[in-house]
Each structure stands twice: as C-alpha cells, then as structure tokens.
Amino acid sequence: MTLDYADLSKRIISLTESETDDVALMATVVCEVHHSDARFDWTGFYRNVGDETLKIGPYQGGHGCLVIPFSRGVCGAAARTGRSQLVDDVDAVSDHIACSSSTKSELVIPVFRGKQLLGVFDLDSDQPAAFTEEDEREMSAILASVFDRDAG
C-alpha cells in the first residue's frame, strides 16, 4: 500500500486551517501522520527551545528523548543545517541518538515559519530504508502548508 499524500494533506489542512497554536498544530499533524502508514513506528516533533537545544514535543509511539542538542544525532543535524535528513540505516550514523533500540531508519525534516526554526519533525521506522525522497518531499510540503502558510 502506498501512502496517499494528497488525501493526507487534505485531511491535515482541513483539521488545522483555523488553528494558530503551534502545539495544537503539532499534535494534530503527528496524529494524522502516525496513523497513515505502518512504516511510522515513532512520529513526533522536537521543538527548538533556544540555546541550540531541541525538546520533545507532541509525539506518538514509545517514549522519545527529552532533550537533543543541535550538535548531536540526526535530529540535531536537521536543526543545525536546516536540511532534511534521510537515513536508511541509523546504525551507520556515528552520533545517532538511540531513543529506541528498535529504530532502523529515520526521516527528519526541519520545520520553519519564515526563517524561524520551530523545530524538527521526526519519523522513525523499525524497518531499514523505510523512507524515500518522495516521503521527504511530500512531508515537507505538508509541514510548510501547516506551519509556514504565508510563505511563497
């Protein structure tokens, strides 16, 4: 089964169109995305709280790490560089932070409002190489439609 990104995007836009609170937006996005595809074992946000630090935000799945510095791990790299991180094998990343020992692959997308980094959106899978460039592109578009509505 292929994820129907057009349908997922429509549902998320419909649910969030009049909401302005970032935590409410994050929680809604996480819920819709997490339940949309069996590959997604952990789905969540890490919020930029300043001082080059990410803290856990709304998520679904097992416990996440509470704090991640920009200097470490896949989430830190996405926050530090402002670029998505598509990792087929987390064990091949020397500074990967194993919040769950079952995670095999990961997709992390930085989330911006204008030039402000709100945080990162993290998708983990217990399957190796679970994510594709299409996942990165489509999820990035959905996140921009929710959090950076006035861009472009």
Identity at 6, one-letter amino acid code: A
| Per-residue pLDDT at 93 | 76
Of the given ranges (16-25, 46-55, 91-100), which has the lowest mean pLDDT? 91-100
| Residue 137 reports pLDDT greater than 60 | yes
Six token digits for residue 81: 């560089």
CA dist 138 and 47 (Å) reads 21
Percentage of the chain beyond pLDDT 70 is 97
- pTM (predicted TM-score): 0.94
Please determine, for residue 152, whether its predicted confidence score (pLDDT) is greater than 50: no
3-state secondary structure the chain: CCCCHHHHHHHHHHHHCCCCCHHHHHHHHHHHHHCCCCCCCEEEEEEECCCCEEEEEEEECCCCCCEEECCCHHHHHHHHHCCCEEECCHHHCCCCCCCCCCCCEEEEEEEEECCEEEEEEEEEECCCCCCCHHHHHHHHHHHHHHHCCCCC
Distance, C-alpha 53 to centroid of its chain: 16
pLDDT digits (tens, 9 = 90+) for 30-79: 999 999 999 999 999 999 999 999 999 999 999 889 999 999 999 999 99
pLDDT of 17 higher than 70: yes
Task: Find the radius of gyration of the CA atoms of the chain.
Answer: 14
CATH architecture for residues 5-147: 2-Layer Sandwich (3.30)
